[in-house]
Amino acid sequence: MTETFIPKSKEEALKLLNQRKCIILAGGTNLMVKRKKWSGEMADFGSDIVLIKHLKELQNIDINNKYLSIGAGCTLAELQESILLGAYFSEIILAIASQTIRNAATIGGNICNVASEGDILPLLYALDATLIIECLNGTREIAISDFIMEPGKKDLREDELLVEIRIPTNMLLSYYYKKVGTKRSNSLAKASFIGLYKLENERIEDVRMAFGAIGARVVRSREFENSLKGLNKEELQVVLKDLEKEYIKIIVPIDDKKKSTAEYRKGICLELMREFLESIYNRD
Ligand SMILES: Cc1cc2nc3c(=O)[nH]c(=O)nc-3n(C[C@H](O)[C@H](O)[C@H](O)COP(=O)(O)OP(=O)(O)OC[C@H]3O[C@@H](n4cnc5c(N)ncnc54)[C@H](O)[C@@H]3O)c2cc1C
């Protein structure tokens, strides 16, 4: 018989995680589907559950001169409405599921679900987000790209809780985002792309590109991004073909019956990248 715990504070939740094997349940939008049995029956979690979504300590959105801090328990709906976050958060979140799901689903759950389709993940990679993980004995900070090891596998011990997401305040605000799915929302992405950029005197000062939903992990290459810095429109045109050849090597989708062929999704990714890069000089 499994027990459900409703801790009064983050501290109490950490104590519980320290004392016994518990499944962390935030919004439950992933877990309830994954653990569901037959219709009308309670989901089967197989071990005790600790609820965290009500914990106020996990629900802050704040900014200081170093980073933007997002509590892991903030719902997608709260993030979408926050004036502290860039417009890209709102656009990406509105393409996730339905309002009902977004009211319950948390950003911590989106990250800790470690599904390749997690729609927030490419943006967090592009923004160089780090995660604050706590256990009873201390806190550690880890880059999101190191936290997610492969779908379903993350760098999180059973006694640990993701408490906060930090984003350096040097956020690039100009962006291009596309999610390719069967329908605009309420469907999982076949591929997604976020491009962020900053131009200075018509030359690329900074650019970030992240591809989601195509394989085990989000694809991003700082090396290729750096090779674009300083280029103007004409110079970018010259290197574009070679850049695509380099990305072809690292964008390796898997064939997936539900998502169409790997070749098709690779083609989409390159097309989205091209569209992004060709558009940036016409947008500022
Ligand atoms: C109909 C439907 C449509 C969906 N469409 C999309 C979509 O388009 N795009 C998309 O990205 N997702 C989609 N999802 C998936 C889901 O809604 C999101 O991933 C959501 O953000 C999960 O958050 P949650 O709080 O509900 O997570 P939960 O289900 O509560 O938890 C998910 C996992 O994370 C762990 N966890 C949660 N919080 C923490 C924490 N703070 N510390 C450590 N571990 C934690 C849990 O133990 C569990 O393993 C959809 C789901 C449904 C049911």
**Residue 40 pLDDT:** 61
- What is the predicted pLDDT for the residue at 170? 84
Structure-token match 């999704």, residue found: 265
pLDDT of 254: 76
Calculate how far, in angstroms, residue 220's C-alpha sits from the geometric centre of ligand 1: 23
Distance from the alpha carbon of residue 186 to the mean position of ligand 1, in angstroms: 13
Phi (first) and psi of residue 23, to 5 degrees: -90, 130
- Expressed in angstroms and rounded, the spacing between residue 109 Cα and the centre of ligand 1 is 4
The confidence score (pLDDT) of residue 283 equals 64
Shortest-distance atom of ligand 1 to CA 29: 26
Among 127, 180, 133, CA closest to 154: 133
Domain boundaries of the chain, sorted by first residue: 4-168, 174-282
State the distance from the centre of ligand 1 to the C-alpha of 139, rounded, in angstroms. 23
DSSP codes of every residue in the chain: ---EE--SSHHHHHHHHHHS-EEEESS-TTHHHHT--STTSPP--SSEEEE-TT-GGG--EEE-SSEEEEETT-BHHHHHH-TTS-HHHHHHHHTSS-HHHHHH-BHHHHHHT--TT-TTHHHHHHTT-EEEEEETTEEEEEEHHHHEEETTEES--TT-EEEEEEEES----EEEEEEE-SSSSSS--SEEEEEEEEEETTEEEEEEEEEESSSSS-B--HHHHHTTTT--HHHHHHHHHHHHHHHHHH--PPPBTTTB-HHHHHHHHHHHHHHHHHHGGGT-
Using CB atoms within 10 Å of the CB of residue 216, give its burial: 0 to 12 exposed, 13 to 18 middle, 19+ buried: middle
Residue ranges of the chain with per-residue pLDDT less than 70: 35-43, 182-187, 257-259, 283-284
Cβ–ligand 1 contact at 28 (below 6 Å):
yes
160 CB near ligand 1 (under 6 Å): no
CATH topology for 174-282 is Enolase-like; domain 1 (3.30.390)
The strand pair at 48-51 and 148-150 is best described as: unpaired
118 Cα: distance to centroid of ligand 1 (angstroms): 8
Residue 213 has a pLDDT of 86
What would the two tokens of residue 263 be? 């070749």
Instruction: Please indicate whether the domains covering 4-168 and 174-282 agree at the CATH topology level.
Output: no
Nearest CA to ligand 1 atom 31: 109
- The CATH number assigned to the domain with range 4-168 reads 3.30.465.10
Q: Does ligand 1 have an atom closer than 6 angstroms to the CB of 161?
A: yes
Rounded to 5 degrees, what are φ and ψ at 69? -115, 130
| pLDDT recorded at residue 263 | 87
User: Which amino acid is located at 39 in the chain?
Assistant: S
The predicted pLDDT at position 146 comes to 95
Which of 112, 184, 259 has most ligand 1 atoms within 8 Å of CB, for mutation? 112
Per-residue model confidence (pLDDT) at position 181: 80
User: Probe ligand 1: pick from 96, 135, 157, 180, max atoms within 8 Å of CB?
Assistant: 96
Say if ligand 1 is within 6 A of residue 123 CB: no
Residue nearest to atom 18 of ligand 1 (CA): 110
